[in-house]
Structure 1
Amino acid sequence: MRLSHLAAAVCVVAGLLLPGPARAAQREAPAGLPGEMSGTGLPLLCDIPDIRLGSVASLRSFHRAMADCADRFWAVTFAVAGLAYTPPELSVTTGTGSVCGAITDHGAQYCPDQQTIVVRIMQDELRDPFRMNIAHSVAHEWGHHVQRLTGVLDAYNALYQPASGQARNLLNHRLEMQAECYAGVFYSAALDSIGPGIAWEAWLRAVSEADESQAHGRPGNLAAWQDRGYRGGATGHCDTWTAGDSAVA
């Protein structure tokens, strides 16, 4: 998700982590893994470089450093939970093609079959590199990779394919808002290292005031789930699947 372009469907994703299959069944959500994943609870020290105005090379370096930081966080988080973890590939490009087809006009996407995060460097980022907005490209898409690694992609597809209309929209919203929450969980450890250049509350206001997206849902809900992950610091706070429809609409 790019903050200034929430209206774009930027991801092809699926999966979840839930406290248990029984709770998931309340809304016919895919069965999740028992328990929750949490990291060490300690700040994550990452070396995230500055972004130079107009520099494609510095944006590439920034995204790669963000990827390394996210990889370290989720590797520890999975290890603490006793789960196997593999990092996604990262592709940073200025073009319009990727390993899973055309890139959206508005930036990042996750390719689940290839387990690859694709980030397209945009002209507006070169002109005005909003550090936290750019960082969120990696953090949000990594959330989708975490969903992929839960092994419930097929279960999600089984729910999505026979659904239609609003039911599909709500499934998409639950996916996207869980990825937002997972990004928040990552920020709970890494935000100081990222050096966002904006206070957390101001960032949430910016997210909540963005344009509404049919694919992602209401910006206010996106901000709320991101904050929930940030303040909770564990994936157990990211159960969008049993949340009421109004919390993910």
Structure 2
Amino acid sequence: MKWEGQEQSDNVEDRRGMGGGGRGGLPIGGRGIGVGTIVIALVAGWIFGINPLTVLGILSGGGGAPTAQVSTGPAPAPPADDAQARFVSVVLRSTEDVWTEVFRSGQAQYVRPKLVLFRGATATACGTGQSAMGPFYCPGDQQVYIDLQFFDTLHQRLGAPGDFAQAYVIAHEVGHHVQQLLGISEKVEAARRGGSEAQANAMSVRLELQADCFAGVWANRSQQARQWLEQGDIDEALNAASQIGDDTLQRRSQGQIVPESFTHGSSAQRVSWFKRGMQTGRIADCNTFEASRL
């Protein structure tokens, strides 16, 4: 992926060197939407080497959460010599360009999300965000949160190396922001509250798969604009989508698959919907909620 020298976003906030105190777990109802929800919390012991019960306690608002980073003012931009932060800034800028154009073509305005870099834990409008959740989007403050150490986990423990695999993760979380702006997330959350656990999980899967499709739309359009993909890049993203499918994670962590507990979709589904968005570059092709088969 030829990202060096590309224009960076000025919408990245670096909280990694900030201290402070904070309490509270990330609520399930108005939760941050992202890679690290219940299924990934259950395998956090394997991925991050921590007690999964601790993570579940954090997610449900229980105790045991590490101290969160709390800003008393605007956090600085990342240092210029931080290559990983530069990469994230370049990818974010590309998503800004793509979604600004998509929204403009629909006579709407795209509101750019802020991307927050943190370590360990940080305060969000959704509660305390934890590294163990993986990257996530908080609809309450319309911000994406990433502990960059997750990229090491993606490579070393989940078997998904490569810069475009990392770009896919960022684009997926920005996809949740697009859903928030379009009013999709709010409707899904209302439907989840009114249904059974199985129905709520099924709605969550459709929401996540749509975010994968939106990531594919970004991949298509960013390539048209920048011609920055190299041989193997697409395979990196498809592999990442596969490695974080619910069935793959459950098989690794507990040796069995429980489809009714899926919240993000199977590996095959995640790959399929990312490919759909990537092949057409059309947001209209990402309507997972009307699809008879996922």
- Secondary structure of 1:114's partner? coil
Deviation of 1:196 after TM superposition, in Å, equals 6.1
Work out the percentage of aligned pairs sharing the same amino acid. Answer: 25
- Structure 2 counterpart of 1:74: 99
Please give the alpha-carbon distance, in whole angstroms, between the structure 1 residues aligned to 2:87 and 2:236: 22
Shift of 1:205: 4.8
Specify the alignment match of 1:113 in structure 2: 140
Deviation by residue 1:219-245 (Cα, 9 ceiling, x = unmatched): 10000000000111110110100112x
The CA distance in 2 between the partners of 1:209 and 1:64, in whole Å, is 24
Match for 1:149: what amino acid? L
Matching residue within 76, 87, 96 for 1:62: 87
Deviation at 1:124, TM superposition (A): 5.6
- Alignment of 1:239 onto 2:263: no
Q: Which amino acid in 1 is paired with 2:199?
A: A
Output the amino acid matched with 1:136.
Answer: Y
Match of 1:223 in 2: 271
2:241 match: 207
Cα distance in 1 between the residues matched to 2:242 and 2:163: 18
Distance 2:105 2:269 in 1: 29
The answer as to whether partners of 1:103 and 1:109 remain within 8 angstroms in 2 is no
Task: Give the direction of change, closer, same or farther, for the CA distance of 1:157–1:202 in structure 2 (3 Å limit).
Answer: closer
Render the CA deviation track for 1:105-133: whole Å, top value 9, x for unaligned: 15210000100011111166298662122
Specify which of 155, 173, 176 is matched with residue 141 of structure 1: 173
Larger Rg: 2
What is the Cα-based RMSD across aligned positions, in Å?
3.0
TM-score w.r.t. the length of structure 2 is 0.60
Structure 1 segment 1-249 matched on structure 2, within 5 A: 7-8=39-40, 57-99=82-124, 100=126, 101-122=128-149, 125=152, 130-191=162-223, 193-195=227-229, 198-201=232-235, 203-205=237-239, 207-208=241-242, 210=244, 211-212=248-249, 214-244=262-292, 246-247=293-294
CA distance in 2, matches of 1:215, 1:236: 23
- TM-score for both structures, normalised by structure 1: 0.70
Seen in structure 2, the aligned counterparts of structure 1 residues 114 and 226 have a Cα distance that, compared at 3 Å, is same
Change (3 A) 1:194 1:141: farther
| Native 8 Å contact 2:277 2:285 kept in 1 | yes
- The one-letter code of the counterpart of 2:110 is Y
Give the 3-state SS of the residue equivalent to 2:144 in structure 1. Answer: strand
Instruction: Indicate conservation of the 8 Å contact 1:131/1:196, yes or no.
Output: no
Structure with more contact order per residue of length (Cα contacts < 8 Å, sep ≥ 6): 1
CA distance in structure 1 between the partners assigned to 2:111 and 2:289 by the alignment = 24
Gaps of 5+ in 1: 10-55
Residues 92 and 118 of structure 1 are in contact (CA less than 8 Å); yes or no, is this contact kept in structure 2?
yes
| Partner Cα separation in structure 2 for residue 202 and residue 154 of structure 1 | 31
Distance in 1 (CA, whole Å) between partners of 2:236 and 2:38 is 17
Any idea what SS the aligned residue of 1:117 has? Answer: strand
Q: Distance in 2 between matches of 1:71 and 1:173?
A: 25
Instruction: Report the alpha carbon displacement of residue 190 of structure 1 after superposing the two structures with TM.
Output: 1.7
**Relative to 1, partners in 2 of residues 1:156 and 1:125: Cα closer, same or farther, differing over 3 Å?**
same
Which stretches in structure 2 are left out of the alignment for 5+ residues?
1-33, 42-80, 251-261
Shift of 1:77: 0.8
